[in-house]
Amino acid sequence: MQIQDFLSRSGVELLYPVDSDYKPAYIPEHLFQRYDYAIRSNKEAVEIRILFLPDMGNAPHAQVNSYRMALHIGDNETNTSFTARELTERELTEVFNADWGRVYILKPKASFSMQQHCRFLVLHKENKGMVCVFYLFDKPSAAIDQRLHLLKYQ
């Protein structure tokens, strides 16, 4: 399925970063955690993966699904921790046009990514579903913050 199909079905607009060298990334066939689209910048040393989860009507709340996903992709070593914060009302309405959202920062399992860090943004909109965006990188930079607003609901 093409990225445009996922975007139109989910009611999501992708704000593709044109100020860097982002290009579509290869998606292997057999994955620990599937995703629908990925872009990578060699200049910024960031890979961004996007997973679209359409509204199924009977799925658990977005909060539960996001926490499950964070535990699933996050490293479970003894001394590993992760942080999470709810998006502010302003971010939800003005930036993402979403009903709910959260950002996690965690160390990903090696089976998910060889990069050291993952900033995991999850957005939900009633009757549209959930979108998970995984920002994978080794060294934190301002580019990560700039790319947080990569997509929004229409």
Q: Residue 93 pLDDT more than 60? A: yes
Domains and CATH numbers, the chain: 3-8+22-149 (3.40.1000)
Average the pLDDT over 78-96 and give the result.
Answer: 91
Percent of the chain with pLDDT over 90: 51
Provide the pLDDT for residue 59.
57
Provide the pLDDT for residue 146.
79
Per-residue confidence band for 57, with pLDDT thresholds at 50, 70 and 90: low
**pTM of structure:** 0.90
Average the pLDDT over 112-117 and give the result.
Answer: 93
Q: How far is 62 from 72, CA to CA, in rounded Å?
A: 15
Residue with the two structure tokens 């499950």? 68
Per-residue confidence band for 11, with pLDDT thresholds at 50, 70 and 90: confident
